[in-house]
Amino acid sequence: MKKISKYFLIATTFIMANLPAFAVENQGACKLIESLRPVIQTLRTLAFIGAAFVLMDWAWGWIKDGKVEKDKLKDQGIGMFVGFFVLFGVGMILQFVGSSAGQDYFGCVVTALK
């Protein structure tokens, strides 16, 4: 799983870094974003829901136990905190890509009131 996420991160970084340069020359990226809009919106929603479930699991564990130990916080808390911010970050990136500001960043022509 670690290798897959590493490859996904590298591919995402490459695409995000190079897409604006290519979008000016051809409108393929704009058509791709437009055709994948339902998928982007679904993944964005799932990422935000996943981040909420990570926090909910973290909080429920502490509520159920009734106490918070420093060692447990160090072992479990850091991983949960990182997991929340990874999911929240993915949601924010997908929100940007699907928005009109993101399409403007990629060089797409955005029309109002479609």
Helix axis angle for 2-25 and 28-35, nearest 10°, is 130
Pair 44, 98: CB distance under 8 Å: yes
The sign of the torsion formed by the CA atoms of 34, 37, 40, 41 equals: positive
Inter-residue contact 90 to 49 (CB < 8 Å): no
Q: What pLDDT is attached to residue 43?
A: 85
- Mean pLDDT for all residues in the chain: 75
Instruction: Check pLDDT > 70 for residue 23.
Output: no
Cα–Cα dist 94/102, whole Å: 9
Percent of the chain exceeding pLDDT 70 equals 70
pLDDT of 26 > 60? The answer is no
Answering whether pTM is above 0.85, one says no
What is the mean pLDDT of the segment spanning 65-90? 75
Provide mean pLDDT across the span 80-101: 82
Residue 110, pLDDT above cutoff 60: yes
pLDDT at 96: 86
Average pLDDT rounded to a whole number, residues 3-10: 70
Where residue 61 falls among pLDDT bands split at 50, 70, 90?
confident
